[in-house]
């Protein structure tokens, strides 16, 4: 079994009361990488430019197929979101940044235990990086809004969390079932949904 790479941006919703509304196989060679901070003891990586050589967004969007997972309320699968070349580029970019052991934040502080033993990379991108690429392809297939407290609060879809988390699993590595936390971008925008993009099949 080889390495399985996952990309984990979160869908971000905005408060409706305010309103909002054939590539190369290698990522761009001129890309410069840097570390801009830390999260849970893990370096937050960034790049000076969008490193991906994207294919045609409209053409790829037409290839996306949606499959509802009836056994998991609200869950669905989108197939063909990225091209094989784009997947490989993301894998190469994440490997360039360097995977490290993923720590788990608990009441005891940051620890690494049986809950999670996979490797992780954190990549901070400009908001427009995902907005003009991945989000452009999948927006219409995501829920238009999230309604809470019996309609008291309504949040409208508006984009993806710009902080991408890459996960790599080798051999028996795993991340046990859990609930993701909410990412508040600001007072009017926060994440409610988790989007996991499989970059390879682990073979």
The helix or strand, by DSSP H or E, that contains position 189, with its residue range, turns out to be strand 189-194
Position 112 scores a pLDDT of 56
- The token pair at 95 is 């490997």
- Mean pLDDT computed over 72-84: 93
Q: Which residues contact 153 (CB under 8 A, 6 or more apart)?
A: 15, 147
Residue percentage of the chain with pLDDT more than 70? 80
Q: CA-CA distance, 193 to 187, in Å (whole number)? A: 17
Query: Dihedral of CA 133/60/23/76: which sign?
Result: positive
Do residues 174 and 118 make contact, with C-beta atoms less than 8 angstroms apart?
Answer: yes
- The token pair at 161 is 């969390």
Do residues 167 and 131 make contact, with C-beta atoms less than 8 angstroms apart?
Answer: no
Do residues 166 and 5 make contact, with C-beta atoms less than 8 angstroms apart?
Answer: yes
Whole-model pTM above 0.75?
Answer: yes
CA 126 distance to own-chain centroid:
13
Position 8 scores a pLDDT of 67
Calculate the average pLDDT of the chain.
Answer: 83
Q: Is 13 left (phi over 0), alpha (psi -120 to 50) or beta?
A: beta
Q: CA-CA distance, 129 to 100, in Å (whole number)? A: 24
Do residues 91 and 51 make contact, with C-beta atoms less than 8 angstroms apart?
Answer: no
Q: For residues 96 and 172, which has the higher predicted lDDT (pLDDT)?
A: 96
Residue-wise pLDDT for 141-180, tens only, equals 999 988 887 777 888 999 998 999 999 888 887 777 777 7
Q: CA-CA distance, 186 to 203, in Å (whole number)? A: 40
Task: Please report the DSSP string for 59-122 in residue order.
Answer: HHHTT-EEEE-TTSTT-EEEE-SS-HHHHHHHHHHHHHH--EEPPEEETTEEE--TTB--EEEE
């Amino acid at each position: 079994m080889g390495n399985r790479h996952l990309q984990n941006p979160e869908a971000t919703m905005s408060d409706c009361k305010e309103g909002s509304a054939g590539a190369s196989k290698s990522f761009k060679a001129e890309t410069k990488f840097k570390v801009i901070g830390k999260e849970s003891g893990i370096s937050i990586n960034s790049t000076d430019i969008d490193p991906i050589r994207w294919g045609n967004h409209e053409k790829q969007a037409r290839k996306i197929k949606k499959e509802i997972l009836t056994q998991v309320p609200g869950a669905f699968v989108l197939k063909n979101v990225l091209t094989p070349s784009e997947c490989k580029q993301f894998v190469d970019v994440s490997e360039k940044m360097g995977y490290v052991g993923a720590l788990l934040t608990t009441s005891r502080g940051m620890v690494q235990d049986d809950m999670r033993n996979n490797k992780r990379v954190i990549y901070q991108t400009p908001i427009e990086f995902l907005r003009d690429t991945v989000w452009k392809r999948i927006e219409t297939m995501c829920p238009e809004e999230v309604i809470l407290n019996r309609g008291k609060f309504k949040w409208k879809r508006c984009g993806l969390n710009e902080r991408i988390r890459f996960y790599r699993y080798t051999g028996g590595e795993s991340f046990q079932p859990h609930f993701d936390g909410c990412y508040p971008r600001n007072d009017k925008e926060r994440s409610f949904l988790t989007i996991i993009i499989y970059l390879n099949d682990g073979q």
